[in-house]
Structure 1
Amino acid sequence: MIDILVAGGGPAGLATAVHAALAGMEAVVVEPRAAPVDKACGEGIMPSGAQALRALGIAVTGHELRGIRYRDGGRTAEARFRERPGPGLGVRRTALHTALHRRALELGVRIVPGKVDVDGVRQGDDRVTAAGFTARWLIAADGLHSPLRRGLGLDVPVRAPRRYGLRRHYRIEPWSDFVEVHWSRHGEAYVTPLGDGLVGVAVLSRDRRPYEEHLTAFPQLAPMLRGRGAGLVRGAGPLRRRARSPLAGRVLLVGDAAGYVDALTGEGIALALATAGAAVGCLAAGDPRAYPARWAGLTRRHRLLTEALLYAARRPATARLIVPAACRVPSAFRAAVHVLQ
């Protein structure tokens, strides 16, 4: 019987397997897609996430990120990350996945093709069976639209306005070491420097329309990108997801499967790494019941700040005040960025 069966081989699932191997536990990852896996992602990793990758022995190349910059028309507000834990990282999703996949294999993790069928999950007093394996624990790292979360009856209906994300790469030299967030009344555009001659631009909005139409809402940005597109537009959403609990018997939910507010504050990868480590830590300590509280503590600041920004952004009267307020009270903007880093 193996220790941990991981459903999903994205960043959260692979990080779970790496944590398990480093803790002396046997882990198997079940993933239907061939590596490397690409998906719609802002591709910015906050400093805590970059630090977590280093702690796992994962080396990944990208563009160092020094802070966050908000832009709206002629107004600009920016906040640098603190010196510790260091800079963030702008990195292609495929490069991140390759590095995590390689590290897992180095540590002896088995990665097998296939997926965990919800109807095939059986829990007992001391084991769980799924996908032809018997394990002491099952980690659900199967993403935003987690079939396991739904199958376990953990999905909570979401009534807030639905938001969607679209991302495309552009062949242009990064002009900043900051993640730039361009605001408009239709949504936000995130510009992440990824390396020599490449940036990623992700658009978040409630409006479902073609990517190029979204860019017209950002007159400072759109002319710079015209004719420089590289690769396909990738999409994701609806973004908001809730789970009743990140623990159901012998199944623990990590990453987006455990719940997701929005990509607005850019912490998805950092939280995936943190919750993966917390889940394995609780299992290694023989205290799985501690995981929901650990999960809540790790994600609380992110959830509160993201909810507050979303509340302001979806109301025209307050949305247009976000960047001016950040300009007028730079200390508050810096404090918010430091909370998230």
Structure 2
Amino acid sequence: MRAFDADVLIAGGGPIGLATALELNARGLTAIVLEPRSGTIDKACGEGLMPGALAALGRLGVDPAGHPLRGIRYQDARRAVTHRYRSAAGRGVRRTVLHDALRARAAEVGVETRALRVDEVAQHDDYVTVDGMRARWLIGADGLHSTVRTAAGLDRPARASSRDRRRYGLRQHFAVAPWSDLVEVTYLPEAELYITPVDEGTVGVAVLAPRPLDLEAALAQAPSVRERLAGAAEASTLRGAGALRQRTRARTAGRVALVGDASGYVDALTGEGLRVGLAQAEVLADCLARDDLRGYERAWARSTRDFRVLTAGLLAAATSPVRGLIVPAAAALPRVFGAVVERLAR
């Protein structure tokens, strides 16, 4: 039999695909990243790295430039509650800056990247082939609308009730000096508006809503934020994402595994998609180093449990008649709010 091209093929060269390659490299496994897009990849996301995400990147030798984040503020038209991290700070980082830092680190340690879109996947007892390449395993790190997930038969149709919770995101940057070292989350009647400082002269503005929502319409509902952005030039192209909710039957099938958004996604409202993906990359690499892909399902569940439970609970509240009570409850119970933030920040 022809020798393997690599131990692992990774479909998707975004941050989680590259982080997975770095985790595998650290364990002595070879990986080839397959990514059809060239250059730096941007994406509509909140861009706030909580302390745990920043620490996970540091362990991989990645230290992207950005703006310190000292905590989280929830606010509505009448009140606000703030929690500042008790230990290390997080960091607001442009997605393009993060991607470039991970690409540079991957190249430094010798991870190979090929400009290829995964179209044909065939599984065998001891290996998998992808468009003529052969490896022991294939990892789908190709995002919300993963082709690997579909090819492996791991898609799970949304329940009728969950269709009502599908939400969409928009993100744009503005050239204005940050006015805070916090991620500010403003609860609007039907949407959340996120402000994240990403460098000394730029803030990111993101909105999450149950339907595609015009950014100007969202800002019109948040006059204090709109006032701070008045006259600021747009510093990026408006980008969108959705539907955000994605469900999977499982995270593995044969010799295929899913990581990051491809493995299933609840919502972006807690801002910890990258932290969860980095945790998954770590435990998946551990499993493959032991030749124990079946163990990844349990490890995935353990590594994501807190995030999934907290996010699902908050999403249920945000898409129900009690939505208007979220900020008042957080303000009335600041210790509980702080405990939730600290749990997500780990």
- What secondary structure is seen at the aligned counterpart in 2 of 1:335? helix
> Structure 1 unaligned runs (5+)?
none
- Cα shift at 1:95: 0.4
Q: Which residue of structure 2 lines up, in the alignment, with residue 251 of structure 1? A: 256
- What secondary structure is seen at the aligned counterpart in 2 of 1:276? helix
Quick one: distance in 2 between partners of 1:269 and 1:107? Answer: 22
Q: Choose the corresponding residue for 1:206, options 210, 214, 223.
A: 210
TM-score, reference length from structure 1: 0.96
- Corresponding letter in the other structure for 1:14: L
Cα contact 1:186–1:217 (8 A) shared by 2: no
CA deviations over 1:104-127 (Å, ceiling 9, x no partner): 11111110101111xx11111110
Q: Which residue of structure 1 lines up, in the alignment, with residue 173 of structure 2? A: 169
Give the count of matched residue pairs: 336
Quick one: distance in 2 between partners of 1:56 and 1:270? Answer: 13
Quick one: distance in 2 between partners of 1:218 and 1:314? Answer: 19
Quick one: distance in 1 between partners of 2:203 and 2:282? Answer: 30
- Corresponding letter in the other structure for 2:144: L
Q: Which residue of structure 1 lines up, in the alignment, with residue 224 of structure 2? A: 220
Q: Which residue of structure 2 lines up, in the alignment, with residue 99 of structure 1? A: 101
Q: Choose the corresponding residue for 1:186, options 187, 190, 194.
A: 190
Cα contact 2:248–2:263 (8 A) shared by 1: yes
CA deviations over 1:259-298 (Å, ceiling 9, x no partner): 0000000011111111111111100012111101111111
Q: Which residue of structure 1 lines up, in the alignment, with residue 76 of structure 2? A: 72
236-245 vs 151-160, greater mean Cα deviation: 151-160
Counterparts of 1:325-336 in structure 2, within 5 Å, are 325-336=329-340
Q: Which residue of structure 1 lines up, in the alignment, with residue 127 of structure 2? A: 127
Q: Which residue of structure 2 lines up, in the alignment, with residue 111 of structure 1? A: 113
**Following superposition, which runs of at least 4 residues in structure 1 exceed 3 angstroms of deviation?**
none
CA deviations over 1:92-149 (Å, ceiling 9, x no partner): 00000000011111111110101111xx111111100003310001010010110111
TM-score, reference length from structure 2: 0.95
Quick one: distance in 2 between partners of 1:315 and 1:163? Answer: 13
- What secondary structure is seen at the aligned counterpart in 2 of 1:232? coil
Q: Which residue of structure 1 lines up, in the alignment, with residue 266 of structure 2? A: 261
Quick one: distance in 1 between partners of 2:258 and 2:124? Answer: 18
Quick one: distance in 2 between partners of 1:131 and 1:18? Answer: 23
Quick one: distance in 2 between partners of 1:247 and 1:290? Answer: 10
Cα contact 2:72–2:83 (8 A) shared by 1: yes
Quick one: distance in 2 between partners of 1:314 and 1:6? Answer: 35
